[in-house]
Amino acid sequence: MAESNFIDYVKILCRSGKGGAGSAHLHRAKYVPKGGPDGGDGGDGGSIILRGNRNLWTLLHLKFQRHIFATDGMPGSECRSFGKKGEDRIIEVPCGTAVFDAQTGKFICDVTDDGQEVVLLKGGRGGLGNWNFKSATNRTPRYAQPGEPRQEREVIMELKLLADVGLVGFPNAGKSTLLSSISAAKPKIANYPFTTLEPNLGIVSYRDSQSFVMADIPGIIEGASEGKGLGLRFLRHIERNAVLLFMIPADTNDIRADYEVLCRELEKFNPDLVDKPRVLAITKCDMLDDELMAEMRGEVPEGIDTVFISSVAGMGLVELKDLLWRTINDERNRIPETLTHRDLDRSHRVQEEDDFVIETEDADDDYNEGVMLDEDEEWDDEYWPDKHNDDEEDF
């Protein structure tokens, strides 16, 4: 597929269905002049549901479907006929999708497993018909409940790739070359910065038919957490990686300084990335002899496993895979089930998506007379009449 088909950030408008109003019908039939109340309940409105799909790898299908509305519940009718329920709208998303409120940037939920379903917006409940309110003292209730109103929300969906190892480094550090050398992935490789414009995934084969997933993201430069370069937009993809593989070329001026710059940018983007296990690979070492490598070992940061590799010559790749496999399978390095997602702020948004204007439809209600309520509010008494109204005539 074309490179432009990889979409990892979309902003859409979701709306659940309103509940149908209950019926206030009074039964009338031949020889039954006062049959009493028989109004049915209204149907529940449809919900907006997210479902994980492992066969999807991008949010492209949502880029051109910006309005997703569930249908409303139908009103009740005579003879205790219940209204039809509204149809739910199921949104298929790739595993690893996180959802945020577009207005506040607050994290809402995430979908990580295939087949996992999350109710994003619940449909309104249908109103009760007047037959629910009859009693010994109120034999002819002439009222029914309106259905609950719909919920509407603008949400931002971010795709965060699921991988065991994430490659972190400056442009032209050899990340794409390494991925193409130890996996079947074919990322674009060229001798200029920012060759990689979208994340790439590769399956790395290991001993005894075992394997692990490696993710390559565009290069990070100093100031990426503030919006410089391409790293900011794609840093989200390493939040779900179990291990971070830092890659620094051997021809750099100061290995320790470059490593600290990369660490600082990750910490500014999401402080939780500081606690992830790390491995350091010194790349492009095919022209170094043992004396130079021994000298460079004194320049590497302390407390991090380091390996010297050359993706072109195949040098140190077996040692690197062994080190990554041990780190991945360490129980202390497991990805927590509840990942802490940082809230979206202005620097973490994609401007061209946020500038998208969503026009809402007219919210005229044919069946309901209720009002839209906040999550913490309750129905007003006028929408929930007293069941026992002694002023009503007896039937």
pLDDT over 90 percentage in the chain = 23
Q: Which residues of 38-69 are buried (b: 16+ CB within 10 A; e: fewer)?
A: bbbbbbbbbbbbbebbeebbbbbebeeebebb
DSSP string, 80-144: TBPPPPPPPEEEEEETTEEEEETTT--EEEEE-STT-EEEEEPPPPPPPPGGGG--SS-S-----
pLDDT-based confidence at residue 153 (cuts at 50, 70, 90) = very high
Residue, of 210 and 374, whose pLDDT is higher: 210
Looking at the DSSP assignment, which residues form a beta bridge with residue 230?
A: none
Separation CA 160–CA 112 (nearest Å): 10
Residue 177 pLDDT more than 90? no
pLDDT over 70 percentage in the chain = 77
pLDDT-based confidence at residue 373 (cuts at 50, 70, 90) = very low
H helices present in 212-254, as ranges: 231-234
Residue 389 pLDDT more than 50? no
Tokens read off for 298: 């004194």
Tell me the mean pLDDT in the region 105-128.
92
pLDDT in tens, 296-327: 887 888 888 888 988 888 888 999 999 999 88
The per-residue pLDDT of the chain, averaged, comes to 79
Cα atoms found within 13 Å of the Cα of residue 39, Cβ hemisphere only: 28
Residue 120 pLDDT more than 90? yes
Tell me the mean pLDDT in the region 140-160.
91
pLDDT in tens, 13-40: 999 999 999 999 988 888 887 788 999 9
* Locus of tokens 């983007």: 269
Tokens read off for 243: 């291990």
Q: What is the DSSP letter of 227?
A: T
Separation CA 269–CA 277 (nearest Å): 17
**Is the pTM above the cut of 0.75?**
no
Residue, of 37 and 268, whose pLDDT is higher: 37
Looking at the DSSP assignment, which residues form a beta bridge with residue 258?
A: none
Q: What is the DSSP letter of 70?
A: P
**Range scoring the smallest mean pLDDT among 204-213, 292-301, 353-362:** 353-362
Q: What is the pLDDT of residue 338?
A: 53
Q: What is the pLDDT of residue 229?
A: 57
Q: What is the pLDDT of residue 194?
A: 63
Residue 379 pLDDT more than 50? no
pLDDT-based confidence at residue 392 (cuts at 50, 70, 90) = very low
